[in-house]
Amino acid sequence: MLRELDGRTALVTGGTRGIGRAVARRLAGAGAAVVLTGRDAQEAEAVAAEVAAESGGTVTGLALDQGDQAQVAAFMAALGENGPGLDIVVANAGTMGLGGVLQEITAADARGVVEVNLLGTFAVVQGAARIMAARGAGSIVLLTSLAASAGVPFMAAYAATKGAIAALTLSAAQELGAQGIRVNAIAPGVIETDMIAPFPRESLDEVAQRTPLGRLGTAEDVAAAALFLAGDEASFITGHVLAVDGGLQP
């Protein structure tokens, strides 16, 4: 039985845990040959083997530090030159940074978040666009956040970068559509991953109670949205930011 992504190659950055791992598993299960990245080569390889076993698909793990834009550019160029092409990119890698009171966040702290979340994602999109433009087709899915529209106290740098990613999505979609490349984003709400571990459980329970669907999200909820936007069912959708937040309002 033909799976919807058979014959396609997908890149999932930040694919060793949480949302990225779930996305890699979902895309591989749909037939895509998946490359997932993480900062540590051994961890990326180990997770790739696990995801391949779970999904029955083909998964490769490679090291990539998204905070190093030169490394990202070289990595994407190598994929274009040496790989089988690139049909799908899910740019998931990101960091919340240290956070803190707005007046006390240092330039170095803010720069670290910007380099990973914004500049690193920008470099991934640039590299993907070069590869996909040569083929005249492709789907790029970025990860923004509910924080982009709602804000998060004590996470100003993180929220700012996620707002920038939403703007990047809209601009890239306008520019790349004529080359057959679709660009969309997912804005997760509060998702049960290790990223929210620092937050008090009572605060998270309160968020779940305020969410119309009565729970926090899961990585699989986001992965299902990524599969939809990556595939042909979304072939006339570009420049869209899809909220996966259970109806939680800013």
Three-class DSSP category at 61: strand
Residues noted as catalytic: 158
The string of pLDDT tens digits covering residues 181-209 is 999 999 999 999 888 777 888 888 998 99
The string of pLDDT tens digits covering residues 128-148 is 999 999 999 999 999 999 988
Three-class DSSP category at 181: strand
Q: What is the pTM of this model?
A: 0.95
Torsion angle of alpha carbons 203, 166, 187, 183, nearest 10°? -160
Query: Given a cut of 60, is residue 62 above it in pLDDT?
Result: yes
- Answer for the pair 151, 159: CB distance below 8 angstroms, yes or no: yes
What residues does 38 pair with on adjacent strands?
63
The CATH superfamily label for domain 9-243 reads: NAD(P)-binding Rossmann-like Domain (3.40.50.720)
The string of pLDDT tens digits covering residues 145-186 is 998 888 888 889 999 999 999 999 999 999 999 999 999 999
